Amino acid sequence: MYGNAYIDPNETPEILQGEDPVLLAEFEARIQAGEKIEPQDWMPREYRKQLIRMIEQHAHSEIIGALPEGTWITRAPGFRRKLALMAKVQDEVGHAQLLYSAAETLGKSREAMINDLITGKSKYSNVFNYPAITWADSAIIAWLIDAGAIVNQLANSKGSYGPYCRALERICYEESFHLKYGHDNVVHLATGTPKQRQMVQEALTRWWPPIMHFFGPSDKISVHSEILMRWKVKMASNDDMRQQYLDMYVPKIWDLDLVLPDPNLKKNKETGKWEFTEPDWEEFKRVINGNGPCNAERLAVRRMAEEKGRWVRRAILGDNAKYTVPLA
Amino acid sequence: MIESLDPRITRANIEADSAIDPLTPLDQFQTFEVFHQKKRGQQHVHVGIVHAPNPEMALLYAKEQYSRRGQTSNLWVVPTSCVTATEYFDDDIFSTTEEKIYRDPGTYKVIDRIKAYKERKAQTQS
Ligand SMILES: [Fe+2]
Ligand SMILES: [Fe+2]
């Protein structure tokens, strides 16, 4: 659940009730023709609602995602890595800004989104509720979590909502450095001393379950999910994205003789699909509902940042300020 | 008090269950549209927005947000409230452009006429 549409299995297909059939047909024809929807266009209520939820969660994930990696800025091994890590963390916060503004074009203010984040009402990617215990954890995050985000973001950048696609294009362009930087750090440790190898192996073992959770549980096939696919809000199923990810990255991990903590993980030659032990979805639910190792810390840090900066923002807010919605 | 792996967070002495008043409207300021020029001589291109209390700070944020990679030679910021735009539902006002073929250089064909003229001239001279 990094940016992929969350589909509530309890929501019924009555979502189209009351929509103007002519406008709906025009809207769907535009998407069918590969054209983008812009903020000023007519759109179904459900389209707006799902996009706000999805883009907002994605924005929160970027801003919270900066925290586990930020843990190691002060103690990064070497000045170049410190500069690179600072740049990466700044990029992620920038991604949050880009995504918040895309969501704002749909009618939810940035203030409202931040309020929903700090009160725990909105979700963000579950992986960031886990700690970066060592420097090697930050290397695994930069390589393998960012890799997952890129799979997701590349798929979503082909979606139908113009402002989200434009934000994602810029984001994907910046992400390529994150991936290279993370890979470089992991390779450095994996090809280093026995101690360094052990460090990166332990970090990988810790992060594998959250990585397997990353794309979310299998989607239930429903009318709802079919509509969101047709509207190009949801671009691929969670399972398809997980398969694509495993295809791209498991060989690169094994290439370094690192061990993944799942004896059942293998590619089935006949089906071409990866097989693995079903991730623990109870653990996933427990953590996403607020009971992970770092949920409380992540939100407390965000609250502190909002609160400590508040008087400054008030002091510089001009008298003539008027709320505006970004144009595009 | 939060004991973090990040020494900076531990030093900040944050209560784990601290509550704060919600953000009020305009806490995040108004928006500015940002235009980016890659190189001298090129057009400025719209790249997105920033939230800022005034144009000077908008430029500062625009630099942080939109010049992170590659080349930049110049940035503009314009308050979103100053932009007037056409409506998408009115976009048929642009649809007649293609019909105006007399604006298309490719529709002017003089070569045939010149050739015919030259042939006629050659005939009368022979
Ligand atoms: Fe990012
Ligand atoms: Fe990233």
Q: For each of chain B's 126 residues, which pLDDT tens digit applies?
A: 999 999 999 999 998 888 899 999 999 999 999 999 999 999 999 999 999 999 999 999 999 999 999 999 999 999 999 999 999 999 999 999 999 999 999 999 999 999 999 999 999 987
Residue B9 in domain: no
Query: Which one, of A162, A186, A157, lies nearest residue A173 by Cα?
Result: A157
Residue A3 has pLDDT above 60, yes or no: no
Closest ligand relative to A69 C-alpha: 2
Residue A146 in domain: yes
Lowest pLDDT segment from A7-11, A56-60, A250-254, A280-284 = A7-11
| Distance between Cα A62 and ligand 1 center (Å) | 5
Q: What is the pLDDT of residue B94?
A: 95
Residues of B in contact with A323 (CB under 8 A): 25-26, 30
Q: What is the pLDDT of residue A4?
A: 64
CATH (domain of B66):
3.10.20.520
Instruction: Identify the three-state secondary structure at position A94.
Output: helix
Residue B112 in domain: yes
Residues of A in contact with B30 (CB under 8 A): 321-324
Interface test with A, best of B18, B28, B84 (most A CBs within 10 A): B28
Residues of A in contact with B9 (CB under 8 A): 297, 301
Which tens digit of pLDDT belongs to each residue from A137-151? 999 999 999 999 999
- Find the length of chain B: 126
The H or E element that residue B77 is part of is strand B74-79
Contact A111 B14 (CB under 8 A): no
Residue A212 in domain: yes
Reading the block at residue A75, the tokens are 């103690």
| Distance between Cα B108 and ligand 1 center (Å) | 52
Is some CB atom of chain A closer than 8 A to the CB atom of B98? Answer: no
Residues of B in contact with A70 (CB under 8 A): 6
Is some CB atom of chain A closer than 8 A to the CB atom of B73? Answer: no
* Average pLDDT score over chain A: 95
Q: What is the pLDDT of residue A2?
A: 58
Contacts of B12 (CB under 8 A, 6+ apart): A301, A304, B2
Our count of domains for chain A comes to 1
Q: What is the pLDDT of residue A10?
A: 61
Q: Closest residue of B to A298, CA-based?
A: B16
Residue A194 in domain: yes
Residue A214 in domain: yes
Residues of A in contact with B80 (CB under 8 A): 324-327
One-letter amino acid of A21: P
CB B44 within 8 A of CB B74: yes
Residue A278 in domain: yes
Q: What residue spans of chain B are helical by DSSP H?
A: 7-11, 55-66, 111-125
Question: Which of the four pLDDT bands, split at 50, 70 and 90, describes residue A219?
Answer: confident
| Distance between Cα A150 and ligand 2 center (Å) | 8
Mean pLDDT of all residues in A103-120? 97
- Find the length of chain A: 328
Minimal Cα–Cα distance from B113 to chain A, Å? 43
The phi, psi pair for B49, rounded to 5°, reads -130, 165
CATH (domain of A170):
1.20.1260.10
The secondary structure of residue A144, as a DSSP letter, is: I
Question: Which of the four pLDDT bands, split at 50, 70 and 90, describes residue A6?
Answer: low
Our count of domains for chain B comes to 1
Residue in B20, B23, B88 closest to A111 by CB: B23
Reading the block at residue A322, the tokens are 């008027």
Residues of A in contact with B24 (CB under 8 A): 111
Minimal Cα–Cα distance from B51 to chain A, Å? 9
Is some CB atom of chain A closer than 8 A to the CB atom of B4? Answer: yes
Residues of B in contact with A307 (CB under 8 A): 18, 20
Query: Which one, of A207, A197, A194, A180, lies nearest residue A81 by Cα?
Result: A180
Query: Which one, of A45, A319, A121, lies nearest residue B53 by Cα?
Result: A319
Q: What is the pLDDT of residue B102?
A: 95
Query: DSSP string spanning A156-186?
Result: HTTSSBHHHHHHHHHHHHHHHHHHHHHHHHH
Task: Give counts: helices (H), strands (E), chain B.
Answer: 3, 3
Establish how many alpha carbons lie within 13 A of residue A272's alpha carbon, considering only the half-sphere containing its beta carbon: 2
CB A72 within 8 A of CB A138: yes
| Distance between Cα B90 and ligand 2 center (Å) | 39
Owning domain of residue A311:
39-316
Contact A307 B20 (CB under 8 A): yes
Separation CA A59–CA A177 (nearest Å):
19
Residue A7 in domain: no
Separation CA B59–CA B75 (nearest Å):
7
Is some CB atom of chain B closer than 8 A to the CB atom of A118? Answer: yes
Residue in A74, A98, A326 closest to B8 by CB: A74
Owning domain of residue B47:
27-125
Is some CB atom of chain B closer than 8 A to the CB atom of A307? Answer: yes
Q: What is the pLDDT of residue A225?
A: 86
| Distance between Cα A172 and ligand 2 center (Å) | 8
- Region label for A36, one of left (φ > 0), alpha (ψ between -120 and 50) or beta (otherwise): beta
Cα distance from N-terminal residue to C-terminal residue, chain A: 25
